[in-house]
Chains A and B, each alone.
Chain A
């Protein structure tokens, strides 16, 4: 650990922002890495197979079953239960976003997605698309499925249920959905990469110490 008062950690001041969907592009551009966002409005869940199908639809010029413009994509495979013809979300935390890296840059560019919500961060291609098209990545607390479910007011619809419950497009109405830490902003900043670079420096140092100890 470093010698500074903060132990070498980057201590950011956190700014809290409440936003509604559809998200306006100037609001999205104003967000910076480290901001904490709470979303009210609509989110659409999509995992690996839904992304693959989105890409196929876009390439064939086929319209998607949901108008995604200004709507955040949530990387989530929820547990949903059907009671009296109503869908109830039981648990709905984020899934690892990196799996969607092969698709997300393309999806952001073609659909005008303002925000990706997930966990663990994304790769260079997505960061580039976010910078070009004015989108951000919001990290939601991994494993917080019960908390997420209580912030979902209603299931407004579901599409592509043939992909299975976790893989379908769930259209969710949410209230103050968060905390979402802006981890990639639309100015090329990537908090996960910053943390990784600093950690790599420390790990190199630890390994040097281990290897040279007699």
Chain B
């Protein structure tokens, strides 16, 4: 068996390569469906270029978008791993190597000096989100996210009396303000409840859910549907040039809240919703979940 750290690095590098060059099947299907639904000729032309681009990227192994984003990893660790303290180092090495090998655009900049490290590494970058599960594998998700959609993210501490209606109004207002900037048709993740930081983490986590999977709670799935209908009736359309399809999906995650707080966060992802997941089992076998067999 390969050394634990090398295995993690190798899998993470592949995941980054898959994520930036090939969209997961659920996103590709949603884009094709959007093209079927769109009636505005300018909107259709955008979706046509998007589908052409997705195909070209996959065939030539080029990054779909030149903004290969800020990189986050979501790690769900089960029982077997005994060297979890080595995972962070292994992931950092994967990012640095993938930056020259794939290649990725260097996007890690010191906020005080504007200096770009050139490696996609920096203080707090890549971001690693940990979760512990009852399983015999480590599930690793690479989530490189572009700045266009990131810059449209917003959160608000609402009055508890505003409730779900307040959430709907806030989301639609964010969509209007964002216009074409987050590269619509977008995926909209909504985090409700918790505290300010929890709400945004939930909104981001919602972006990881496959687009064809509604929230398992039918009431929340209903709210996802309602907000999806709100957003797609704005007419903002692909790239903000007007049209029927402004969002590919709306996903909600929630946590319980303090009686006096009602945090809500909205996270946008561009149509190039890049994510890839693999499971690394205790015997060293690797299963690529989103991108078939490696």
Contact = CB atoms under 8 A, between A and B. Distances in A.
A33 to B, nearest CB: 10
Interface residues of B, number: 58
Interface string A189-211: 00110111011101100110011
A207 B49 contact: no
Nearest to B181: A120
Nearest to A5: B39
Contacts, number: 199
A145 interface: yes
B105 A165 contact: yes
Contacts of A76: 66
A119 interface: yes
A195 B237 contact: yes
Interface in B155-193: 165, 168-169, 172-173, 175-176, 179-181, 183
Interface of A: 1, 6-14, 34, 36, 49, 76-79, 81, 90-93, 95-96, 98, 119-121, 139, 141-150, 164-166, 179, 181, 183, 191-192, 194-196, 198-200, 202-203, 206-207, 210-211, 213
Interface of B: 39-42, 45-46, 49-50, 52-53, 56-57, 60, 62-68, 103-107, 114, 116, 118, 146-148, 151, 165, 168-169, 172-173, 175-176, 179-181, 183, 230, 233-237, 239-244, 270-272
24 contacts: A1-B233, A1-B235, A6-B40, A9-B40, A10-B40, A78-B66, A90-B63, A98-B181, A119-B239, A139-B180, A141-B239, A144-B52, A145-B57, A146-B60, A149-B62, A166-B105, A166-B106, A181-B241, A191-B242, A192-B240, A195-B179, A199-B176, A199-B234, A207-B173
